[in-house]
Amino acid sequence: MAETRSESRSGGGRGKGAEARRTAHLVESLCAWFEREARDLPWRRRRSGYRALVAETMLQQTQVSRVVERYVEFLRRFPTVRRLAAASEQEVLAAWQGLGYYRRARNLLQAARRIVRDHGGRVPRDAAELRRLPGVGRYTAAAIASIVYGRAEPLVDGNVRRVLARLEARDGGSGSSGGPAASWAWDRAAALVAAAPRPGVLNEAVMELGALVCTPAAPRCPRCPVAAHCRALRQGRQEEIPAPRPPPRRRCEHHHAVVVVRGEKVLLERRGSEGMWSSMWQVPTVEAERPLAGREIVRALAAAVASLEPRGSFEHRTTHRWITFHVFVAAGRLRRGRWCDPAQLAAAPMSNAQRRVLARARGGPDTGA
């Protein structure tokens, strides 16, 4: 019996040793690959806590290609955390145009003000401190702490979760951000980070691999630096893991956007301070659960409008909504809003959907942005 226990202990020790060597190899291969293949992205050229906070906030729900354009412009306008903290909400929303999910811009502004007020203008280095800032969650805090300040903080986003699940042939689906699959991924990411001499490089390497090689569909396994360690590849299941998430349930809405024109001026009004697109500018818009008839729209606007000229419709999807925008042009009187000339119109913070409304009303190209 004693011999058996002893064998079992040494067998377990060998297993642990092999797993530790595999983890060390993974870390080494990923970091070496990242150093060779990393994309030249503007937030990688010059690192600082503030720059990382801006980039990570933008990247939360926007594609890298779009963030690349807007990040440089945003930093030109607000080059330091103090400059951002001193800006008005309307200025920041205007600079955020085209990125969507404007709550992020408000949170970023609040975070900048908090950093100036409570941290002497220096972005905290500690992940727990970072998480106290508005809009900074577990992922963003870990990204800043590890990538900029070299702290051994694991991070998990969609790319990381997919790469780790495939490397370990771990079933269980993508899961929700708080489910068991996510919790497993955080534990696995922590094990990799613990073995990494440079945690930030490792974190970026796993994300980059997910973005460039271990893509959701058709992963490029022959080009993968860790193919030799990949259990999903060995089992031929790399395209089945992780199981797809069910599509989000979206509420259907109909927004009737009325472009009222006087000469070269257009009437805009500001949305309320709560809910979607809060505090942004828009043409007078009536929201309903079904398409409305012309007279219902006029009644809802409480306007003396002679006629509504339809200019077609388009679909706009958000995470939780499926909105059909019905576009109209009208001449008439409304006792609300503000008449904006072309320069004011260009500078007003407006959602992409409202920009599409204006383009349709003018008969110009509707880019669908």
Question: Does 192 interact with ligand SF4 (rule: CB under 6 A)?
Answer: no
Question: Does 164 interact with ligand SF4 (rule: CB under 6 A)?
Answer: no
Among 55, 145, 155, 232, binds ligand SF4 (CB under 6 A): 232
What 3-state class would DSSP assign to 256? strand
Among 26, 163, 189, 350, binds ligand SF4 (CB under 6 A): 163
**Structure tokens of 257?**
């956007």
Q: Which residue reads 């490792």 in tokens?
A: 202
Question: How far is residue 352's CA from residue 70's CA, in Å, rounded to a whole number?
Answer: 14
**Structure tokens of 231?**
């259990």
Q: Which is nearer to ligand SF4, 156 or 224 (CB)?
A: 224
Question: Does 305 interact with ligand SF4 (rule: CB under 6 A)?
Answer: no
Q: Which is nearer to ligand SF4, 125 or 231 (CB)?
A: 231
Question: Does 226 interact with ligand SF4 (rule: CB under 6 A)?
Answer: yes
* Binding span for ligand SF4 by CB under 6 A among 169-177, 200-208, 214-222, 262-270: 214-222
- 56 neighbors 140 (Cβ within 8 angstroms): yes
Question: Does 93 interact with ligand SF4 (rule: CB under 6 A)?
Answer: no
Residues with a known catalytic role: 56
Q: How many residues does the chain have?
A: 369
Give the count of alpha carbons within 13 A of 104, CB side only: 19
Residues 100-129 that bind ligand SF4 (CB under 6 A): none
Question: Does 255 interact with ligand SF4 (rule: CB under 6 A)?
Answer: no
Question: Does 214 interact with ligand SF4 (rule: CB under 6 A)?
Answer: yes
Q: How far is the CB of 239 from ligand SF4 (least distance, A)?
A: 8
Question: How far is residue 112's CA from residue 116's CA, in Å, rounded to a whole number?
Answer: 6
CA angle centred on 368, ends 364 and 369, rounded to 5°: 110
**Helix (H), strand (E) at residue 91:** helix 89-95
* Binding span for ligand SF4 by CB under 6 A among 7-15, 59-67, 117-125, 231-239: 231-239
Q: For strand 251-262 and strand 321-333, is the pairing parallel, antiparallel, or unpaired?
A: parallel
Residues at the site binding ligand SF4, with contacts judged by CB under 6 A: 163, 166-167, 213-214, 219, 221, 224, 226-227, 230, 232-233, 238
